[in-house]
Every structure is written in structure tokens, then in C-alpha cells.
Structure 1
Amino acid sequence: MEGDAAPTADMIRAQLRRLRIAAGMSQEDFGRLVHYSGSMVSALELGQRPLDRLFLARADEVLTTGGLLVYLLKLAERDGQPSWFRPWLDAERTARQLRCFQPSLIPGLLQTENYARAVIRCDDLLSDDEVERRVHARLDRQSILTQPDPPQLIAVVDEHALRHTAEHMRGIMVEQLTQLITYAQRPPVSVHVIPAEVGVHVGMSGPFTLARGADGGWVGNLENQLAGVVVDRDGDVATLLSRWETVRNEALSHRHSIDLMKEAVDSCT
């Protein structure tokens, strides 16, 4: 954990040590119960190694915390998000409807763990620990779709996003497309595919997402190679809503989109 996430990470380490001592366990005793060495427990408590989700999950079980340490890790991961992304996370978390267009990738809220890892790992400037942190942060965002009152998610993807045929991606794509079909067959998710035969269309300018809040107002998000931009000016939001209608109209129906996704699965096997 680095940067803004450091205070939360330090709090997790302090809580871990306090709970372990309160339970009357040495680092060696505790390590045996969570299947880590005593030296590893010491390194984690001292901040000499990054916090490990599996370790904290086992620690929660042994210390009967009710999931406190893993929950605090989620907060730390959110604190570690770039400052430009946090306003969008807040909009996404409170949205009543999300409209997402992606021309080249499966939308993040619908990605499998292995697909997310493959995509994030494309950035060779990231360490393995940072890749894993970003993967878990992305998967945690998906919890909005399984909460008691989830937002409606309407996703439009280009057919090209379904057809990564490199040999090392085939198994990952079968898993990803199978999950995408499962999502598309049940509320609150709807997935529509723009077939390759459409050719040039306005969405090729880049991906965007729109979120409608409980008050009915819209906010948009644009991502680029360096960062992202939250769009909330009325004129800009109106432009994105107009472009959404265009790409949605280019896409296939719900049923035909599922048929195309199933055909893409067959082409990977």
C-alpha cells in the first residue's frame, strides 16, 4: 500500500497486532493457525511486506472479527485509487442505472478475475503486487451488482471485444464470455453487441460510461491512457447521452447479442 492508502494500511496492521495480542497468541502461534510462518506474520505487522487478502481472510476467521480486516483492506484499496477516479467510484456506487460502452474490452464490472488480471498486466510498469491490488479493487466494484437493490447495468460492446483469439487468451476468453452470457441472461444486467459488419460508428472514438443517480441526474466518465475525466457539465453529458443512443441503436437485440456471444465461445474452443 502506497500514497493515500498508507494510513489505512497502517491501521490494519495495528488492529491485527492488537487483536492477536488480545487473543494471547505469539506471532508463531498465530502463524500456525493462519498457515503462515511467524516471520511472515512479523513482516506483515511491521509493513515489511504488502498486506495479503488471503492472510487477512484467515486472520478474520481465527480472530473471529466478522470480516473486519478484509473490510478495512477494501477501504485501503479504495483510498489507493487515483484521485481522478474517486468521484466516479462514488457515482458508480450510488447509481440507479449505468450505461457502459466499450469498443475493445469487456466492461470492468463484468470482467472475470483472470480476464481482469490479463488486461491489467498489459501495463508492464506495474509490479505483481500492484497488479493484484488492482484486480481485487476491480472485483470489489462488482459487488454493486449483487447488493439488495442493484443498479440496472446496460452494456454495449463491440464484437471485436469478444474475439481475442491469441492462443494464451483462449481459455480466459471462454471463461469470460461464459460469465458474460450468464450476466446477460438475468436482471439487472443487459448486454448488447455491435456486430463487426456495422463498421465505422461514433463509438469508435472511445469508451464511456454514464451513471444516473437517485435524483435522476446523469454524470459521465471517460477513460484514456493516462487517467480519466468525470463529465458533469450539462452540455457534455447531453453529448454523451446522444452518443449512447447512437451506439445502442447500432447494437443487436438482447437475444441476438446472446446468440453472437455463444458463437464467440464456440470459436474459442
Structure 2
Amino acid sequence: MANEALRVAMAQAGETVESLAEKVDVHPKSAARWLAAGRIPHPRTRVAVAEVLRRDAADLWPEPFRRRDLPWFRPWAELEQDATSIRSYQPLLVPGLLQTEGYARAVLGTGGLVAPAEVDQIVTSRIERQSVLAADHPPQLIAVIDEVVLRRPVGDGSVMARQLAHLAAVADWEHVQVRVIPADSPWHTGLAGPFVLGRLPDGTELAYLDNQLRGQVVTDPIDVASLGRRWESVTGEAFPQRRSIELIREVAKTWT
């Protein structure tokens, strides 16, 4: 059975196999194969095709997206698994790849805005995502957080104590860095909002942004480069790795 959803989307967008292949930078034979059942392109290419056709990638290829993540997060979750490096800046929370189950559950359960069953699904998926850090060839992860992340209570004291202990332990891994921007630093560009930069095996750089409603994968090279400059700015404000781990362990003691 052919991929009817893709065929219809191409027809409605006025795209042929050849024109679509040119826009997403693949060989026309590859694009032709996508129309056959079971032919699923690389995650980065799925995102590019969806942008060209102005459709959700999950509508065109639902199989890879049958996860417990929120629908708008699934494209990034797929790309994250292929990344060779991930650089994450979070001014308010521990990054998802480094959250404990208790911390993630407390974040999602705050305010009662997410149904308990959905909280369970998202937490399970978030913990499953973290397996990428224990893979045979894990990505290099550099996470920069503000000191307030260590000191603002999420859940109770035991949740925070376990979260900070986990953060310090993972930061000792060879392929993981956690760096903290001290609380007495002045206003810096990162405080405009969180962002994540990812690099794929072929060198392609992508980014991810989110807000109160949803997130988006950023593929435009100019936008990604702009976020890269912001990354250089925020890392310049952060303590080195060793001092950051010392601070995390110091603050962890205050939660016990």
C-alpha cells in the first residue's frame, strides 16, 4: 500500500517527486521511495518535507511518532536520538534529558493543568529519552543552567535533593557537562528564553525552542546561527565544569 497521505499532501502543495527532492536536498529516487509503504526518511528529512508541504510530519509518517510525547515535541524527540551533540540552555528548569522521574512529575503536575494520565505518559517518555545518554555512542551533552534552577523548589526537599544528586553524578560522565551561571551574574542574553542546539552526524545543525503552548524545531541556518551566538554568550557567563559540580553538591546539601 502506498503512502496515500504523502501523495495527497504533495498534490495539494503542487509538488512533484522531483521538485520535493530538490527542496529537501535528496535524490529524486529517494523521494519516490517515500511514496511506498514502509519507506520512512531520516528524521531531519521528515521535518524538512513537512515544512515544504505545510503538514505535520506525524500525519505523513505516523509510525515513528507513536510515542507518548506531546505531538508537537515528537519531531525533536526523533532528531535528538540521532544527534552527535546537544547543547541545552535552561534558565528555569533542569533539562529534560537530566531530570529525575520525581522532578519531571512535579514539574508536569504543578497547577493541575495536565491530566494525571497524561503526566504519566509524558514522564515515561521523558525517562525513555534519557537512554540516549547511555547508548554505545552517546551524544556529547552540554547543559547550561542558571543557579536559580538549583535553588527553586520543585516538589518537596527530597525531590530536589535527589535531582541535584543525579545532576552531579551525570555531570561526572565523560560525555556530559553541566555548567551553572551564578546567581550574581547580571542580565545576559540567555534569559530571553531556553533553547537547545543539536548537531546531526552529517554536520547539520538544528535547534529547538518552546514556550507556554508548544515547541518548534528550527532549521533555518540564519536562525540556528543566531542561537549559536547566544550559546557562546551564555557559556561565557557560566562557571567551569568543576566549579559547577561543586556548587551543585553544595546546594544539594541544603535540600536534605
**TM superposition score normalised by structure 2:** 0.72
Which residue matches 2:8?
none
Look up the SS of the partner of 2:209 in the other structure. Answer: strand
User: What is the alpha-carbon distance in structure 1 between the residues aligned to residue 66 and residue 150 of structure 2?
Assistant: 29
Look up the SS of the partner of 2:72 in the other structure. Answer: coil
**How far apart are 1:101 and its partner, in Å?**
0.3
May I ask how many residue pairs the two structures share in their alignment?
194
CA root-mean-square deviation: 1.7
User: What is the alpha-carbon distance in structure 1 between the residues aligned to residue 223 and residue 172 of structure 2?
Assistant: 32
The answer (yes or no) to whether the contact 2:84–2:201 under 8 Å persists in 1 is yes
Look up the SS of the partner of 2:180 in the other structure. Answer: strand
Q: Which runs of 5+ in 1 are unaligned?
A: 1-74
Task: Verify: 1:103 aligned to 2:86, yes or no.
Answer: no
Q: How does 1:211-250 map to 2 (within 5 A)?
A: 211-250=198-237
* Aligned with residue 170 of structure 1, among 124, 132, 157: 157
Task: Verify: 1:183 aligned to 2:198, yes or no.
Answer: no
User: What is the alpha-carbon distance in structure 2 between the residues aligned to residue 253 and residue 111 of structure 1?
Assistant: 21
Amino acid at match of 1:85: F
User: What is the alpha-carbon distance in structure 2 between the residues aligned to residue 104 and residue 176 of structure 1?
Assistant: 14
User: What is the alpha-carbon distance in structure 1 between the residues aligned to residue 128 and residue 66 of structure 2?
Assistant: 10
* Aligned with residue 82 of structure 2, among 94, 109, 112: 94
Q: Structure 1 pair 113/173, CA: closer, same or farther in 2 (3 Å)?
A: same
Segments of 4+ in structure 1 off by > 6 A?
none
Q: How does 1:17-28 map to 2 (within 5 A)?
A: none
**How far apart are 1:91 and its partner, in Å?**
1.3
User: What is the alpha-carbon distance in structure 2 between the residues aligned to residue 194 and residue 202 of structure 1?
Assistant: 12
Which residue matches 1:142?
130
Amino acid at match of 1:127: A
Which residue matches 2:114?
126
Q: Structure 1 pair 77/179, CA: closer, same or farther in 2 (3 Å)?
A: farther
Q: How does 1:19-38 map to 2 (within 5 A)?
A: none
User: What is the alpha-carbon distance in structure 2 between the residues aligned to residue 199 and residue 206 of structure 1?
Assistant: 15
Q: How does 1:149-168 map to 2 (within 5 A)?
A: 149-165=137-153
User: What is the alpha-carbon distance in structure 2 between the residues aligned to residue 127 and residue 231 of structure 1?
Assistant: 29
User: What is the alpha-carbon distance in structure 1 between the residues aligned to residue 221 and residue 64 of structure 2?
Assistant: 33
Task: Verify: 1:117 aligned to 2:105, yes or no.
Answer: yes
The answer (yes or no) to whether the contact 2:141–2:177 under 8 Å persists in 1 is yes
The answer (yes or no) to whether the contact 2:68–2:124 under 8 Å persists in 1 is no
The answer (yes or no) to whether the contact 1:165–1:268 under 8 Å persists in 2 is no
Q: How does 1:47-62 map to 2 (within 5 A)?
A: none
The answer (yes or no) to whether the contact 1:209–1:221 under 8 Å persists in 2 is yes
The answer (yes or no) to whether the contact 2:67–2:125 under 8 Å persists in 1 is no
**How far apart are 1:193 and its partner, in Å?**
0.2
Residue by residue, what CA displacement relative to the aligned partner does 1:151-181 show, whole Å, maximum 9, x if unpaired?
A: 0100000000000247x52110100000000
Which residue matches 1:69?
none
What is the percent sequence identity of the aligned residues?
Answer: 45
Q: Structure 1 pair 218/76, CA: closer, same or farther in 2 (3 Å)?
A: closer
* Aligned with residue 206 of structure 1, among 193, 200, 224: 193
Look up the SS of the partner of 1:214 in the other structure. Answer: coil
Amino acid at match of 1:136: T
The answer (yes or no) to whether the contact 1:106–1:157 under 8 Å persists in 2 is yes
Residue by residue, what CA displacement relative to the aligned partner does 1:61-97 show, whole Å, maximum 9, x if unpaired?
A: xxxxxxxxxxxxxx89844434422221121010000
* Aligned with residue 251 of structure 1, among 233, 238, 249: 238
**How far apart are 1:247 and its partner, in Å?**
0.4
User: What is the alpha-carbon distance in structure 1 between the residues aligned to residue 166 and residue 146 of structure 2?
Assistant: 17
